[in-house]
Structure formats: C-alpha cells, structure tokens
Amino acid sequence: MQRNKRFFDLKRILPLLLAAAMYAAPLAITNQYVLRVCVYVSIYSILACSLNLISGVCGQVSMGHAAFYGVGAYTSALIALSFGLPWPICLLAAGVLSALVGLLIGTPALRLQGGYLVICTVGFNELVRLILLNWVSVTRGPMGLTNIPRPRFFGVAIHSGRQYLYLSMTLLLIVYITLRNILHSRFGRNLRAIKEDETAAETMGIRVHREKVTAFAIAAGFAGMAGSMLAHYMLYINPNLFIGDFSTTILSMVVLGGMGSMPGSVAAATLLTVIPEALRELDRYRMLIYGLMLICMMLGKNIPWDTTPLGRAAARLRGRVKIARESEHGGKD
Amino acid sequence: MLLKVEGLNTFYGNLHAIWDISLDVGEKEIVALIGSNGAGKSTLLKTLAGCIPARSGRVVYRDEELRLRHMRSDRLVKKGIVMAPEGRRVFPRLTVENNLKMGAYTRPKKEWTDSFTRVYDLFPRLAERRGQMAGTLSGGEQQMLAIGRALMGDPKLLMLDEPSLGLSPLLTEKIFELIQQIRDQGTTILLVEQNAVAALAVANRGYVLKVGHVVQSGTGRELLSSTEILRSYLGTQ
C-alpha cells in the first residue's frame, strides 16, 4: 500500500520523463535529415509495436505486415486525393480498412500454424504488391500516387520536418499506450496464454482462433495507420515501398527487441533505422555491414548474459536494489 | 445423472478412434477411465471437453442434450465441464496467480475471490508461490496448478487427464488424496489414468477401454478385484 502513496516512484515518473524528453528533443534538432530519420523511426516503431502484438505476444509469426502498411498508405492517399477529406479521417479510414483486410486474411490464415502461416502471409504480401502494381486505373501502378496532400489542422498545413516529427511521435505514443493497455488487459493475457500453450488455452474456454484473428486485425489496423502517416509525409508512394523484404525488416525489429516487449520493439526499430543511415558513408559496403551487424545482434541475444561477468554484476546490482526496497517497505508489500 | 453419453463416435480424419462408447457419470462421483496406451481414453476426454468434434452419438449433461455441433470448449467451460489436459500444460511464463486467472476466464471477476480461496486452501503450496513463474515450479506443483486452474472455472464436472503422469509414488498418492477431497467438496470427477490401481482405488465407478471400445465397467472395487481385467487389459499382475 505504501508504494501507491509514493509520489516519486521511479516506475511512474520514468515514462513521463521519457515522454517529456521525447517531445523536447525535436526542438534541439535543426538538421532536416536527422528530423527525417526521426520521423521514419516513429513510423517504423508503430509497425514494429503492432506486429509485436500478433507475432511477439501471441506467437503467430506474420511476414506480411508491409502489406497492411501498403493498404493503409494507398487507402489514405486515395481518399485524400479523390475526396479531399481531412487527414484524420483518412488516417481512420486507413486503419479501419487495413483492419478489415486483416480480418479477411486472418480468419482463414490463422487456422494455420508455424511455417505454413509464414508462407501464407508471405504470399499475401506478394498478392497486395501485385494488386498495387497492376490495378493501374486506381493505384496508377508503378508510377505510384503523387501530390498526396499534407495533413492540415485548423486550415494550417503541416510542412516542416519538426511538425511532422511531432505528429508521428504523437501517433506512436497513442498506438504505444493503446497496445500497452491491451497487453495488460484480459485480452492481452489470453494472447500470452495462446502463445504459451494453445491446447491449454482452449481448455480454459478461450476462443483461440477468435482471439488470434482479433489481435491480427488490430495489428493490421495500426500498420495501416502507419501507412497513412507515411503517405502524407512522403507525398508520394509506390508499390515498391511495401514489398516482402520490408516485412522481414519489421519482423527483425520485433525479434531483436524481444518477442512480446513493446519498449524493445521501439528500441530495435530505432536501431535498425538509424544504423543503415549511419553507415551511409560506407557506400556499397553499407548493406553488407548492416547484414553482419544484424547477425551479430541476433547471436548476441542468445548469449546467456546472466552467466557472464557483466550479467553477474547486473544481477548483484538488481539484488541490492531489491533488498534496499524491501527493507524500506519493512518487509510488507 | 450429471453426464450421460450414448453411442459416441470420434474420428481423427479417417481413423475411427472412439467406437460407440456409452457411459454414465453420476453427481459427486469419481469415475475412472482406464486402459492401456492408445485405448482412446484421452480422445474420449478431449471429445467431451469440446477439443475434438464428435461425429455421432448423444451427450446429455444435467438433463440437457448437448448438440454435438455446439460442443465447443468455451461453451462447455461455461456450462461447468472443465478439463485439465494431459502433461499439466501450465503456462510456463505466466505467474501462478495469472495461470489461475486464466482458469477463471469465462467467469465474472467478482466470483474469482471464492475460487482463489478454495484453490489456495486445497493447495497451500500454490499460495506460497503465487508470484512465481509457473515454469519454475516442480512437477508436482505444476500438477497442482493444472488442477487448481481447472477448479477456477468452478466446474460441475472436472475431467483430469493423467494427473499422476511423471510424478513420484509419494506425490501420486498426494494428488489422489486431493482428488478425493475435491470430490468431497461436491465436484464430480472424470478421471483418465494409466495408473489403474491407484485410480480404481479412489473411483466410485470405472470403465475399461480397449482400442476405442468400452470392454468392462463396474464399481472401482469390482474392477480392482478382477485379476482377469487387470491382467488382460492393464498389463498388471
């Protein structure tokens, strides 16, 4: 009980401090290129967090997330171009349509498991790319959609890099908080149970398939919103932005960040967006080194850190903090 | 009669696994299903729990005929038919308490407190370890958790699949004591067990299964005293 009364509880204050720092940081950034990378970090973080819900938390590995990103981007751009509707409506429409497509694909696909599901989602990604490429009358095919209007709020168009960064960060924050609340809800617990043991979850009375499809649709919806953000930021989109390779990148972010960890997904999305940019100077060796780094990072995740001197030191530190806390609470908690 | 099954047939694809099985389970009874490997005991339990669809037959539960097409685990759990699956299958990376909460999934939150009290009274060990990850519990504790989790659904009919699997004789004895205790509290138990002697010793009645057929039934004592049954079907001396 005592803990609730403590105002300066680090666990409560830290997220607020981080959010404050996040909102203050763009004021210090003047370089347009850095701002641009930061916007991409926010968009990719949304993608990674949303994929984490279905692949990390619920354990259903999907390699077709870029398809929903594309559906969202095209939906939003087409609505804005055809009807001139304001961006928030385009954003919502992108989210809803992507979620519906997720529902449509997820319902049969999530009856499959493991490798079969992966192949199925890869196929779906390719299908969406081909539709975007060949349905020229609507999507303008390989030429892509141009002149997508900028988001406007109260008659003022967003145009500077910093404004875009604030917008994308706010969207990320909303998505992050929503997903975090989902994780701590009954639904989130069901998803974790399904990942742990589907049969056991079923015997508890959980409708396993329905929960999986719901999570898939939610993830698809948020990916669609990220797509909308991208379309109205780049002002130009083409089908090549939503190929299967990119789905693999999003999945690497989820795996690197830790399956099921939302802060991990954001951190990994940041890392995997910033590293290729930082390596630009290496020119043609860039992707080679990026690939090697990715392999090393994945291998590094498998090292039993607890048994290394570093891990033992960290454990000692954690133990000390825990003991200090317990004595502070007088043993009752 | 709590549960009446008549002429139940279950298939795995083309494989006919359960052949015209009929059985009765009375209120507050322990009914044991025994038989050697591949006899269809677990399949029968899974069918009754809604995990595998039955192809034909009649299932009457508390005087209500259950339509086979509607026998889905979530509906059955709500009606009070809960299964603790074979091999314990606790959620290893959820805490003991969260595992128990999963068991109460279909029930309103305000009813959870009584079930928690009941489970923690039955298994004080789980109360001590409520914050611990279930995967770090010992085999016996995991089995207690699996049973406790099933009890959180407030079952009228609790179906236990091989609760003594992989446990030491001492722990097996303890688990069977607890099963009797649960029955005495008013929960009917349908028990599948390879350890036929231990199961029949606590069971009011039993059914002996062989390749998907019921070959013998009777009270626990009758079946236990029949050396013929023990030798022919259960491989004991």
A322 in B contact zone (CB under 8 Å): no
Residue B1, pLDDT score: 84
Nearest to B102 among A199, A204, A207 (CB): A204
Residue A4, pLDDT score: 52
List the one residue out of B121, B111, B41, B123 whose CA is nearest residue B78. Answer: B111
Which pairs with CB-CB distance under 8 Å and at least 24 residues apart come from B104-112? B104/B152, B104/B153, B104/B154, B105/A186, B105/A190, B105/A204, B105/A205, B105/A206, B105/B77, B105/B153, B106/A204, B106/A205, B106/B74, B106/B77, B106/B78, B106/B153, B107/B152, B107/B153, B107/B154, B111/B154, B112/B152
Nearest residue in B to A201, CA atom: B102
Residue A280, pLDDT score: 81
Q: β-pairing, B205-210 with B30-34?
A: parallel
Conformation bin of residue B65: beta by default, left when phi > 0, alpha when psi is -120 to 50: beta
A204 in B contact zone (CB under 8 Å): yes
The confidence band for A28, taking pLDDT boundaries of 50, 70 and 90, is confident
Residues of B with Cβ-Cβ distance to A199 under 8 angstroms: 51, 85, 89
Residue B39, pLDDT score: 84
CB atoms within 10 A of CB A92: 17
| A191/chain B closest Cα distance in angstroms | 11
Nearest residue in B to A188, CA atom: B102
User: Cα(first)–Cα(last) distance of chain A, in Å?
Assistant: 7
| B172/chain A closest Cα distance in angstroms | 22
Residue A79, pLDDT score: 93
Q: How many CB pairs under 8 A join A and B?
A: 62
Residue A5, pLDDT score: 54
Residue A172, pLDDT score: 93
CA A85 to chain centre: 26
A32-302 fold: ABC transporter involved in vitamin B12 uptake, BtuC (1.10.3470)
- Give me the residue spans of the domains in chain B: 1-80+191-237
Mean pLDDT of A70-99: 93
Q: β-pairing, B213-219 with B205-210?
A: antiparallel
A304 in B contact zone (CB under 8 Å): no
Mean pLDDT of A125-154: 89
Residue A325, pLDDT score: 63
The confidence band for A309, taking pLDDT boundaries of 50, 70 and 90, is confident
Helix B112-122 with B139-151: angle, nearest 10 deg: 150
Instruction: Kindly give, in sequence order, each residue whose CB lies less than 8 Å from that of residue B69, ignoring residues fewer than 6 positions away.
Output: B53
Instruction: Kindly give, in sequence order, each residue whose CB lies less than 8 Å from that of residue A260, ignoring residues fewer than 6 positions away.
Output: A52, A56, A57, A192, A195
Model confidence pLDDT, tens digit, residues A223-276: 999 999 999 999 999 999 998 888 988 998 888 888 888 888 999 899 888 888
DSSP label at A303?
A: S
Model confidence pLDDT, tens digit, residues B96-123: 999 999 888 888 888 888 889 989 988 8
Which pairs with CB-CB distance under 8 Å and at least 24 residues apart come from A14-20? A19/A173
Residues of A with Cβ-Cβ distance to B90 under 8 angstroms: 197, 200
Residue A332 pLDDT exceeds 70: no
The confidence band for A323, taking pLDDT boundaries of 50, 70 and 90, is low
- Give me the residue spans of the domains in chain A: 32-302
Positions in chain B whose pLDDT score sits under 70: 230, 232-237
Rounding to the nearest 10 degrees, give the CA dihedral for residues A47, A51, A57, A63. Answer: -150
Residue A44, pLDDT score: 94
| Coil vs helix vs strand at B107 | coil
C-beta of residue B85 within 8 angstroms of C-beta of residue B149: no
Q: Any idea which residue has 């009980």 for tokens?
A: A1
Residue A8 pLDDT exceeds 70: no
ipTM of the complex: 0.82
Residue A122 pLDDT exceeds 90: yes
CB atoms within 10 A of CB B229: 21
Mean pLDDT of A13-33: 83
Residue B188, pLDDT score: 93
Residue A114 pLDDT exceeds 50: yes
Question: Given an 8 Å threshold on Cβ–Cβ distance, is B51 in contact with A201?
Answer: no
Residue A301, pLDDT score: 72
Mean pLDDT of A184-204: 89
Residues of B with Cβ-Cβ distance to A193 under 8 angstroms: 91, 94, 102
| Coil vs helix vs strand at B86 | coil
Among A2-11, A20-29, A225-234, A249-258, the least confident range: A2-11
Instruction: Kindly give, in sequence order, each residue whose CB lies less than 8 Å from that of residue B44, ignoring residues fewer than 6 positions away.
Output: B8, B10, B18, B21, B33, B192, B209
Question: Given an 8 Å threshold on Cβ–Cβ distance, is B73 in contact with A189?
Answer: no
Residue A29, pLDDT score: 82
Q: How many CA atoms lie within 13 A of A301 on its CB side?
A: 15
- Tokens standing for residue A100: 């519906």
C-beta of residue B3 within 8 angstroms of C-beta of residue B25: yes
Nearest residue in A to B82, CA atom: A203
Residue A177 pLDDT exceeds 70: yes
Instruction: Kindly give, in sequence order, each residue whose CB lies less than 8 Å from that of residue A167, ignoring residues fewer than 6 positions away.
Output: A151, A158, A229
Computed over every residue of chain A, the mean pLDDT equals 86
A193 in B contact zone (CB under 8 Å): yes
Question: Given an 8 Å threshold on Cβ–Cβ distance, is B77 in contact with A190?
Answer: no
Residue A1, pLDDT score: 45
Residues of B with CB under 8 A from a CB of A: 49, 51, 72-74, 76-78, 82-85, 89-94, 98, 101-103, 105-106, 149-150, 153
Residue A12, pLDDT score: 75
| Coil vs helix vs strand at B59 | strand
The confidence band for A333, taking pLDDT boundaries of 50, 70 and 90, is very low
Nearest residue in B to A210, CA atom: B74
Q: How many CA atoms lie within 13 A of A215 on its CB side?
A: 34
The CATH classification of domain B1-80+191-237, taken from the options 3.40.50.300, 3.40.50.920, 3.40.720.10, 1.10.260.40: 3.40.50.300
Nearest residue in A to B90, CA atom: A200
Q: Which residues pair with B33 in a beta bridge?
A: B192, B207
Residue A68 pLDDT exceeds 90: yes
- Opening angle at CA B35, ends B34 and B39, nearest 5: 125
Measured CA to CA, the distance from residue B34 to residue B192 in angstroms comes to: 6
